[in-house]
Structures are given as structure tokens and as C-alpha cells.
Structure 1
Amino acid sequence: MKKVFKHIFAATVLAATLATGCSKSDLVDLKPEFSLEALENPSSIDQVEEVLTAAYSRFRSGSYYGDGNGSGFSLMPDMMSDNLLETNESLANYKSLTDWIYAEDDALVRGIWAAPYAVITNANIVLRDIDKFTTTDNQRRANRIKGQALAIRAHAHFDLFRFFATSYDRNSTTILAVPYMTEFLVSPSVKPARLNNKDFYDRVIADLTAAVGLLGNVDATINPSTIKRPNIDLAGAKAIQARVYLYAGMYTEAITAASDVITARPLAPAASFAGMYNEQNAGEIIWNAQFDAGQGGPGGGVYFSQNNRSAYAPAAEIATMDGTTGLIRNDDVRYTAYFATIAVANGPRLVMRKYRGKAGLTDGNANFPVFRTGEMYLIRAEARARTSPAQETAAMNDLNVLRAARITNYTNENLTGAALLTAIANERRRELFGEGHRFFDLKRTTRTIVRAGGCGNPSISPAVCTLASNAREWALPIPFDERSVNDNIQQNPGY
């Protein structure tokens, strides 16, 4: 009888990948279900592809892009920064993260550590088995499967790195990143150590280089839908490269990768921009984490649309109810796509609406745009601006093109030097609001968080309004559960 493997341990990766213990609450339900044979002893390439499909489903975890345990890599970076401020409608579920008072035994931190490694587990199973079933006749299908698994593995590791590394210095051989898992092993003796930054980047870049090579020669269109892009295709792998290269300070490579993606996925016209968030138009989505009916979405911890409860609200620096002040104003297509004014008991309030539902629904079921073309323009602009003064004109052109696509009657600007870099940083804050970037952008540019526009007011909950650029809290602590069974892993300083 065929057994159905419905649950896989997800606590710091199946007790297997990182050798930690699990509890019943650490089980993740995978949809679609895949067979036990596919996990342990697959008999066909079809079963290997089932495990790849399950890897994508794990991005829906409440600790990854979903809602329910912190939305670790979707909304939490905005909640932990100066973009979204806690309101008096909050249930205080996420205060340990958003007030920067986390410790190594924090359940939210443990979830952020475990969720990407759970994705990596599935990717490594695919990579363990795919070559067994690769033949001359199915080589291009194998490329499609293997390329996605390599890109997924690199992306999930890099997400972990963004939270747990103390610095993003690409060349450091002393700063610690995170373990880079390349095998699926079930053994209590598996106790991986943290790599240094240089070795970590080398592995991420190698996986992405291999993924790009494979995904350029596949047997079928990876995302055939006209409105959904739930899988990583060639453009998706290059988008991951562009982001990694920007963090690494490899600006020439970032420019090349971002340019390739921009060619493949042009900017969306203003009329279709909002459709990216309610699944009415693919717009400029490169890869989205897909949440189908009944699978939730990323936004409930900020704005619970089912009962109009706004636990976190946009800072006044971002937008205001009248739309005439703040970084995003009512002459900008992003204003109505991102925000709405709702009536609540305490009076009208501006809320983040971009994930409240598909089509005209307000059930909180929405996809998360992991990569969009707007980010590629901003990556290329910043990389050009940081390369040399000779590239500043091209960088400013990127910024002007993006703004002209978003803002009605926009007039081009001409900035250079520090003013140009500041403008690019502000545009990242506008364009990528609520999409998991702000905390990391401040961290990689070693800036201080200053929560203005409401922090400390009676209707706003956060008691701590600043985080210094040298504070330990820029890097999350390695969870206690991991360190208790893995004596090879080193804690971050100060914890």
C-alpha cells in the first residue's frame, strides 16, 4: 500500500539537517501531499518533482512568507524597522521582535531559523535524487527541476543570512554567517558549524550560477499562467543573483543580473500595477509565493481584513490619510495599491491593504511578491551609483524611469553623489514597502532606526523608538534549541 507522507518535522530542519529536537507543534502540513517513496526511495523523476513542489509549499509557513507566526521574511522586516508601527489594536503577538527584545529562547526567532532550513531540506532531497533519473531523453526536464532546487537552496540560505549574520561583508573570513546545508542527512552526529561570510557567499553564488545555467535550457515554460508566477524560472534565478550581488558589493555583477531581469520582465503599466497584489495581473512579478484559497497570506499580522483590525499601521513618514504628505502620496499609483482608510472605533485609520485579498475579496488570501521588476531597477541604480561617478547618470535614469512609471506627471531629477544614494534609499522604502526589505536595507547600510511619525504616541505601542547602528539586535540570536544539541555552532555576540 502506498503511504502518504503528510507531515515533515520542521524544527530546525527535520532533526536531520541540523539535528535538533521537535515537538508536535513543529509539524508542517505539506500540500499537495507527496509519497513516502518520493522522500526515501523515489522510483521516478515524477516523484522527485513532487518533492520540489512541496519545497515551494513550505514558503507558506507562518515563519516564512505566511501569517501566523511572525511572517518572518515578508512583513516582519517592515515591522521591525521604521515602516510599520504597532497600534493599540495589536494583540502584542510580535512585540519581542518589533521591540527588539528577543532572546535565544524566543519562539519567533526559532521559527525564523527553522522555516528556511525546512525549505532547504526539500531542495536537498531533490538534489540528492535527480541525477538518478536523468537520461539523455529527459535532460532538459531534469535541468528544470534541478535548477529550481539549487535556486531555492541559495535563496533560503541567503534569507537566513540576512537575519542572523552580524555583517554582510562579502570578503570577511572572521564574521560568521550560517551553516550552508548541501545534504539531507538524518543523524544526531550532524552538527554543522557556521561558515564565515566569504565561504558562505561563495556557496550561494555557486548554487545560483549553476541554477542559471540549468534554467536556460529546460523542457517547458516554468510559469505558464498569465497572472501567476509561483515558481523560479531563469528570470527568478537571476533576480536572486542581483539581490545577492548588491549585498555582496559586487556591483558590476549586480548590474548585469538586474539588467537581464529587466529585459525579461519590463515594468508594469500603471493600470495593471495594483493587480499584482490581488492576482488580477502578473504585472512585473518575477516570482511570487503562491497562496491559494484557504492557505492564508502574508498580511494578517499587520492588517486583519476580516474584522478591520490594524495591528501595525504605516508610519506617517510613509503615507498619511489625506495622501498629501509622506513618501507615498495620492499622485502615486502605489498609494491606492498599498493603502486604504478604514473606519474603526477609535476613528479613521490608514491601513496597509495590499494583502487583504484577491479580486474584490477581503479574506486575507493573497500572494507574496518575492521579486518584482521595481526592485531590479533599484538594485541597478544603487549598484551604478556606488560603482563610480561615471555611472551616476545611468543610475539617475533608472530612478527617473521607475518614478515616472509610478507617479503622475513626474518631473525628472538630476542628482549625484550622496544625494543620489539617499534618493535611491528613499525610493526603495517607497517601492518595496511591506515586502520584506526595510530592516535589511538599514542593516546593510549601517544606519540607525529612528521611529518617527507616531512612535510614543498613545495610539502607538512601541516603547523603544531607536536602534543604534552598532546594536547587537541587528542580528538575531542563534536559537537555544539549536545550540543545546549542536556544540559546533557559535552564538552571536551579546546573547
Structure 2
Amino acid sequence: MKFKNIKKALIVFAAAATLQACTKKEVIELTPEFSLDALSNPSSMKQVEEVLTGAYSRFRGADYYGSGSGTGSGWALMPDVLSDNLYEVTAETLANSRAMADWIYNQSTGQTSSLYSAPYGVIAVANIVLRDIDKFTTPQNQLLANRLKGQAYAIRAMAHFDLLRYFAVKFDRNSTTDLALGYSTEFIVSSEVKPSRLSNKDYYDKLFADINQAITLLGNVDKAINPASGLTRPFIDRNGAYAILARINLYAGNWADAATAATNALNGRPLATTQAAFSGMYNQTNRGEIIWNVQFEAGQSGPTFLVYFVTSARNYFRPAPEIATVAGNTGLIQSNDIRYSAFFSVVGSGGLGLTKYQGKGTATDGNANFPAIRSGEMYLIRAEANARLGGANEAAALADLNALRAARIAGYVPVVLAGPALINAIADERRRELMGEGHRFFDLKRTTRTIQRGAICGTSVSAAGDCSLAPTDREWAMPIHESIRNANPNMAQTLGYN
């Protein structure tokens, strides 16, 4: 069935939050669209485009890529908090995300509700664009319509995929018994619509339909979606849509399709090979290898505050010693690697902090962009996909792994690997490359591995309640919050929760 709406309260929340994120001009022009009593239609293609801007603004929400004090950052830093990449600092934490970090969340934990509602808020606004754009499309502005409509489809696919990552128990592409969530294709304010969870197969079918439609439309537009030069790429263009397709295929186990989509995403998007180009992606001094970034302007916060409260140099969470150390000569990321100084610095009481989002330029106010998709990830998707295909494809996988490492590590000597050793090396490289970028928990989940936190876990330095999460534990998938199920009894609870 088509998932039309979650519940009226969620849509009202989505509308109000979108208004807060818009500029003054957008608020003035979009207010009629977000009337809480009745929705009036945009009066022009220009207003439809401004609604699309509102969809992008929702990605900045504190529970999506933005953050609060020790909270939020759901798809930026929370997957690292949930994994083995970070440890909670007993002496500095406010414990605002303790339930998440210790894997003791349940159906009454507020942050699980936020993880559910944040993407649906994005989706709701994208659906307004898709609902209204055809009203203003003519033969004369068809290419403009393609540009806007393609982005809306890509946004809708991206947000639905992010929901799948947290709430699906398994990622099996063709399972008709494993449950994903509802897939929202219409914007309707009605408390009478009570959707059920779709099977993985039905959900993936809709994901692929949306992102492939985006790719088609974005291949025939009136102008470039992002500027040819500059420091950012704040909109999803065709490269970005291909990158989303590559991610989805990776999780679905469609190895050949994942490799092809990653190659298409990399067209004109080479790896950053210098410290300035790489670090610049995080402090907005260089575009580097960004394919799509979530743009945070002045006063719009940033991703960092879940982990590092930069304005007071307070580390709620620090990098695990297995990742990096102050000395820089042990751990996965060492000082001869351009990722080391881009990601970390010594802060506070002398420990290493994850400071990659501390600010733009030399600022230390936490107002930084989030590189949601970049070329390094595409190299690793293609490498993993080819390694899992095996046989003759392993040579291409090894070439991508060595190319990425050579771009990052001074004096790197290429390795020769095959079979499981190659797959494991690529997994380790994903952990290095994508540290603090929203992947580690999901990478461990999709490959059914155990989380085993390091020796610092469970000590006085980091008094965690649990240091290990087995592949069969329920906490790999988030529960449906009780408030959502109370409003919609058709929404089945995630396996293992009440």
C-alpha cells in the first residue's frame, strides 16, 4: 500500500520546523503552503522551487545532520557513537545520549522517535514539490521542472533509505517477510491514514523507482544544479543521485550495480590528494571531493555538538584509541595520513578530540557543513562491490583500495591482497575514511559483525554499561516509539521490542 502520511501531528511538526529553517523571504512566500488548517497550493514554479529549498533545509535539523548539546546528529555522528569508533568520556559527558551509547534504548526512548520523525519531515516537504510541480510545468519550462522534480525524487529516496538503515532488522533486498517501514509518496494531512510497514522487497522497489527517476530527470535539465566552481555543492545533482543509488545497491547486495553507480557518481569528481583539499571539505576552504554537502549557514549550528561541544572545548565523546592517539603513531589513522589532522586535534584535558566539524575557516563555533557524500566513499563502494564479486573483479577492487590509500597516506606502498583479506582491508579503510560521517554502525550491521569496543570501554575513563553488541541483538534496529504506535496500531513494532 502507499504510505501517505504518518499522522497529523508529525506533518504539523514537519511544517513548523521547515518554516524555522527557511530564510525570511522563504517564510513569507511559503507560509500559505504550510497553513495548519488547510493547505493552499504554491502559485508559481518559483514557489515550488522554494518549497524544494525547504526540503533541503530539513536535512539541517538537529536530529538529522545537525546536533544539540550531546544529542542529535542522527545520520552524521550518532552511527559512530553507536559503534566502536568513539567512547563516552565519563569526566566530560552530560549523558544526554547515554541510552543510545549504551544500547539501552527501547520504545519509550525519545531519541528513537526523533530518528523516525526527522527523515519523514524531509519526505513530507519533497512530496509537496512532487504534488504541485506538474501544475506549473509547460513545454517552455520542462527542463526547469526536470531539475526540481529530479532533486525532489532524490531527496525522497535518500531520506527513505536513511530510515531503512536504522529501522530495518535486515537489509535483504528481496525479503517478503522482513519489515522495513512505510514509504511516503503523497502529502496528505489526515489522522485517518494508518499505514503498515512494507516488506523489504516492496520498500526497495520504491527506493529504486524514486532514485532511478531522479537520475533520468537530472540528466536533462536547464542548467547546472551546483556551480562549476566554489567551495560547496549544496544540492543533489546527477552525480549525487548516482551516489545514492550506489549506496542503496551496496546495502541490497547488488554488487555489479553498486560498482557501476559508483563509477557514474565519480564522473568529474576525483579524489582529493592534498591536505588543503581534503581538510577544506570540513572547514569550507576547499570543495575537495564533495559530491553533496549539507549546508549550514551562520547561526544554523552544525553536526559537532553531539560529540564535541566546540565552544567550550568539551568532549562528550572522544575517538577510541584503536582509531587514533595523541602521539599519532598507533591506531588506524596516524599522523602521516592527511585524515589525521583533518579529523582530530588535541583539546581539553590533553586527549584527542574529533574536531573535523569545529567551524569554517579558522572559526571554532561549531558552524560547519556536513559532507554527506564524497568521492572517497564511492571508491570504497566500488572496491567492496568488486571484491565481493570476486574473480577478475578483485584486481579493480585492489586498484581502488591502493589508489585511495595513496591519496591519503604519505609514502604509501601498495599492497597485494585477495579474497577475505581484501574484503577485510576495504572494511578497515571504510572505518578510517568515513570516521565521523555516519557509516560505522550501519557497516557493522549490514555485514552482521559484532561490535566489540576497545579496552577503554567499561573503565573509569568511559564507564559504559555494555561493551559488546552481538549480531543477533535487537538493538541493531531501532524500535518504533510508543507514541507512534499509539497513534497508529497498524505500525508493527520492530522485532524484539514491546
* Partner Cα separation in structure 1 for residue 169 and residue 484 of structure 2: 18
Give the Å deviation of 1:304: 1.1
More moved, 186-195 vs 17-26: 17-26
Secondary structure of 2:267's counterpart equals: helix
Which residue of the partner structure matches residue 177 of structure 1?
A: 180
Secondary structure of 2:246's counterpart equals: helix
Q: Which runs of 5+ in 1 are unaligned?
A: 1-14
* Partner Cα separation in structure 1 for residue 8 and residue 353 of structure 2: 39
Q: Does 1:167 align with 2:183?
A: no
Which residue of the partner structure matches residue 132 of structure 1?
A: 135
Q: Which amino acid aligns with 1:84?
A: L
Q: Does 1:399 align with 2:401?
A: yes
Alignment of 1:448-459 (within 5 A): 448-459=450-461
Q: Which runs of 5+ in 2 are unaligned?
A: 35-39
Is contact 1:70–1:301 with CA below 8 Å preserved after alignment? yes
Which residue of the partner structure matches residue 101 of structure 2?
A: 98
Which residue of the partner structure matches residue 249 of structure 1?
A: 253
Which residue of the partner structure matches residue 443 of structure 1?
A: 445
The correspondence for 1:387, drawn from 376, 386, 389, is 389
The correspondence for 2:431, drawn from 426, 429, 432, is 429
Give the Å deviation of 1:434: 0.1
Alignment of 1:68-87 (within 5 A): 68=68, 69-87=71-89
The correspondence for 1:334, drawn from 328, 334, 339, is 339
More moved, 30-39 vs 16-25: 16-25
Give the Å deviation of 1:493: 1.4
Please give the per-residue CA displacement for 1:318-354, whole angstroms capped at 9, x wherever unaligned: 001100000000000000000001242xxx1100010
Which residue of the partner structure matches residue 190 of structure 2?
A: 187
Give the Å deviation of 1:38: 4.2
Give the Å deviation of 1:377: 0.3
* Partner Cα separation in structure 1 for residue 163 and residue 13 of structure 2: 21
Q: Which amino acid aligns with 1:95?
A: R
* Partner Cα separation in structure 2 for residue 352 and residue 454 of structure 1: 17
* Partner Cα separation in structure 2 for residue 222 and residue 47 of structure 1: 17
Is contact 1:247–1:444 with CA below 8 Å preserved after alignment? yes
Q: Does 1:18 align with 2:6?
A: yes
* Partner Cα separation in structure 2 for residue 263 and residue 270 of structure 1: 20
* Partner Cα separation in structure 2 for residue 217 and residue 407 of structure 1: 39
Please give the per-residue CA displacement for 1:17-61, whole angstroms capped at 9, x wherever unaligned: 201546998842231224234452111101111110000000111
Which residue of the partner structure matches residue 157 of structure 1?
A: 160
Which residue of the partner structure matches residue 264 of structure 1?
A: 268
Q: Does 1:30 align with 2:21?
A: yes
Tell me the matched-pair count. 478
Secondary structure of 2:21's counterpart equals: strand
Please give the per-residue CA displacement for 1:92-151, whole angstroms capped at 9, x wherever unaligned: 000111111111111101000000000000000000001111111100100000000000
Distance verdict in 2 for CA 1:253–1:162, change over 3 Å: same
* Partner Cα separation in structure 1 for residue 473 and residue 148 of structure 2: 41
* Partner Cα separation in structure 2 for residue 400 and residue 56 of structure 1: 35
Is contact 2:4–2:185 with CA below 8 Å preserved after alignment? no
Q: Does 1:375 align with 2:399?
A: no
Please give the per-residue CA displacement for 1:273-325, whole angstroms capped at 9, x wherever unaligned: 10000000110000011101110000112111111100100001100110000
Q: Does 1:494 align with 2:482?
A: no
* Partner Cα separation in structure 2 for residue 194 and residue 318 of structure 1: 37
Which residue of the partner structure matches residue 4 of structure 1?
A: none
RMSD over aligned Cα atoms: 1.5
Give the TM-score normalised by the residue count of structure 1. 0.94
Q: Does 1:222 align with 2:225?
A: yes
Q: Does 1:282 align with 2:284?
A: no
Q: Does 1:306 align with 2:286?
A: no
Q: Which amino acid aligns with 2:242?
A: K
Is contact 1:448–1:467 with CA below 8 Å preserved after alignment? yes
Is contact 2:11–2:121 with CA below 8 Å preserved after alignment? no
Which residue of the partner structure matches residue 41 of structure 2?
A: 41
* Partner Cα separation in structure 2 for residue 258 and residue 389 of structure 1: 20
Please give the per-residue CA displacement for 1:147-191, whole angstroms capped at 9, x wherever unaligned: 000000000000000000000000100000010000001111111
* Partner Cα separation in structure 2 for residue 373 and residue 22 of structure 1: 35
Q: Which amino acid aligns with 2:178?
A: I
* Partner Cα separation in structure 1 for residue 274 and residue 456 of structure 2: 31
Which residue of the partner structure matches residue 364 of structure 2?
A: 362
Q: Which amino acid aligns with 1:209?
A: N
* Partner Cα separation in structure 1 for residue 206 and residue 102 of structure 2: 33
Is contact 1:317–1:453 with CA below 8 Å preserved after alignment? no
Give the Å deviation of 1:459: 1.3
Is contact 1:315–1:453 with CA below 8 Å preserved after alignment? no
Is contact 2:7–2:190 with CA below 8 Å preserved after alignment? yes
Give the TM-score normalised by the residue count of structure 2. 0.94
* Partner Cα separation in structure 2 for residue 122 and residue 386 of structure 1: 37
Distance verdict in 2 for CA 1:21–1:263, change over 3 Å: closer
Q: Which amino acid aligns with 2:414?
A: N
Is contact 1:21–1:481 with CA below 8 Å preserved after alignment? no
More moved, 455-464 vs 98-107: 455-464
Is contact 1:62–1:71 with CA below 8 Å preserved after alignment? yes
Is contact 1:278–1:357 with CA below 8 Å preserved after alignment? yes
Which residue of the partner structure matches residue 7 of structure 1?
A: none
Distance verdict in 2 for CA 1:391–1:23, change over 3 Å: closer
More moved, 22-31 vs 278-287: 22-31
Which residue of the partner structure matches residue 37 of structure 2?
A: none
Secondary structure of 2:244's counterpart equals: helix
* Partner Cα separation in structure 2 for residue 270 and residue 198 of structure 1: 42
Give the Å deviation of 1:488: 1.4
**How many percent identity over aligned positions?**
55
